[in-house]
Amino acid sequence: MLDDPNPVLVDAALELVLKFRRESADLIPVVAPLLESPRPDIRRRVALLVGRVLAKPGTESLPERGAMIGELTGRARRDDVAEVRQTATAALAILPDAGIDETLRTIGQDDPDQNVRFEAEKALYERKQNAALRRSD
């Protein structure tokens, strides 16, 4: 239902996928176009969904991984709606990929919205704490 032209069905399908944590790599090609939706609530939930998918083990070799990280970064840095930027920032923060820290640092310094900056700073702090824990093991 995620690729249905009816926005009500897309909305319901997104809600169910997120609620029951049914995200999988198979959904990436279906939901990627929804990051361009005119509805901010759809863009926000798709960013969350994409982040969850890309954070799963075994998705490092997805052919569209780089493009999707780029899309999330674009949403986190340039979306018109602060809630979308905040959610996309949180989605980026759960990814283990190189370069994410620098992106979070930039968002934490440059975003015009305090909540988005806070999300980026919080994510950086948590990533540093997790890295320190892994090193001490």
In angstroms, rounded to a whole number, what is the distance separating the alpha carbons of residues 31 and 114? 28
pTM score, two decimals? 0.93
Architecture of domain 7-136: Alpha Horseshoe (1.25)
Closest by Cα among 11, 63, 76 to 37: 11
Which pLDDT tens digit goes with each residue over 33-42?
999 999 999 9
Considering the chain, what is the average pLDDT of its residues? 95
Which pLDDT tens digit goes with each residue over 83-116?
999 999 999 999 998 899 999 999 999 999 999 9
